[in-house]
Amino acid sequence: MAAWPLIRLIPRSTHFRFVRWAPVAAVFSLILILGSGVSFFTQGLNLGIDFKGGVALEARMPTAIDLDDLRKVAKSTGAHDVQVQGFGSPNSAMIRFLPTEGVNANVEANRIKTEIIAKFPGMTMPAPTVIGAKVSGELLMGGFKALGIALLLMLGYIWFRFQWQFAVGAVVAVFHDIILTLGILSVMQIEFSMTSVAALLTVIGYSMNEKVITFDRLKENLRKYKTTPLREIIDLSENERLSRTIITGSTALLALGGTMIFGGPVLFPLVFTMVFGIAIGTYSSIYIALPLILVWGVKRGDEEAKPVKLGAASQP
């Protein structure tokens, strides 16, 4: 096949005018942020048991546990918002659910525990763990503190490595990614739990890595072409790294896409958050971080100017 490997289908050089569409992208992002805000205030996030409080039961058996059967039995007991997932080994599983309002959580947990054990001979369960609302609130605050600390550390790193304009542009873009990711979780009412916080931290890392690579190429071209307008250098830098962006992003999305489709309901919130975050992080690297640098301007290097004539597609 003449086109194999398929990477040959990606053009070696492109001349897209990324900066030209920055105002349109800014309006688009603003609409999405406003929509996310409306969703936050009207229906909020669909908090999981980790953040709302609930009951956790650890099930153990001499043989492997069929999680689907266990999930059906747990739901048949009348428990609310049941979650069942593997725990350590195939012989162990964790069952979580919300206690009925007005009912003693320990009493209900013991009832459900008894009904489940009756359906699975040989199953044992230690005493149930009841997670109170206060502990859940502390977990939620701790999760968001972790996100804030990660952003501050990355701001310091970008500021140290580049210029303050790069640092502010990167952090604004990452905030954009977090708001829109939380927004889509709110709109679709996908459960938000501690694993979602882990997914958001992963999204922040991926997004910041994209921006470091983007800024590296821009910084290199700023030193090489000191008399070329900044908007043209931004277009040139993005066109030079476009093939790398396509390959890296598509590889990550292909791997996560299979898990999202076939991973089942337990993994779906985690993987969906990462897939959306990777896509929006790539978008913000081009249309949020770089346009902000264009607005504020940057200091050029001290090397001798080396003008370049770009293709017609990159002209303002």
Give me the pLDDT at residue 309, please.
44
Dihedral sign computed on CA atoms, order 136, 96, 55, 43 = positive
Give the pair of three-digit tokens for residue 291.
């346009």
What string of pLDDT tens digits covers the 316 residues of the chain? Answer: 455 555 566 666 677 788 888 889 889 999 999 999 999 889 888 877 777 777 888 888 888 888 888 888 888 888 877 878 777 778 888 888 877 777 777 888 888 888 888 888 888 888 787 776 555 567 677 777 877 887 788 778 777 777 777 888 888 888 899 999 999 999 998 888 878 888 888 888 888 888 888 888 888 888 888 778 888 888 888 888 887 777 788 888 888 888 888 777 778 888 899 999 889 988 888 888 888 887 777 766 544 434 444 444 444 4
Give me the pLDDT at residue 312, please.
40
- Whole-angstrom Cα distance, residue 280 to residue 207? 8
- Whole-angstrom Cα distance, residue 270 to residue 250? 18
Give the pair of three-digit tokens for residue 311.
């293709």
Per-residue buried b or exposed e for 124-137, using 16+ beta carbons within 10 Å of the residue's own CB = ebeebebbeeeebe
- Beta-carbon neighbour count of residue 313 at 10 Å? 12
Q: Where are the domains of the chain?
A: 14-44+134-305, 54-131
The CATH number corresponding to 54-131 among 3.20.20.70, 3.40.50.740, 3.90.850.10, 3.30.70.3400 equals: 3.30.70.3400
Is the pTM higher than 0.85? no
Cβ pair 80, 97 in contact under 8 A: yes
Give me the pLDDT at residue 133, please.
57
DSSP state string for 129-150: EEEPHHHHHHHHHHHHHHHHHH
Look up the CATH superfamily of 14-44+134-305.
Answer: Multidrug efflux transporter AcrB transmembrane domain (1.20.1640.10)
Residue type for position 214: T
Give me the pLDDT at residue 5, please.
54
CA distances, 23 to each of 19, 28, 80, 280 (Å): 8, 9, 47, 17
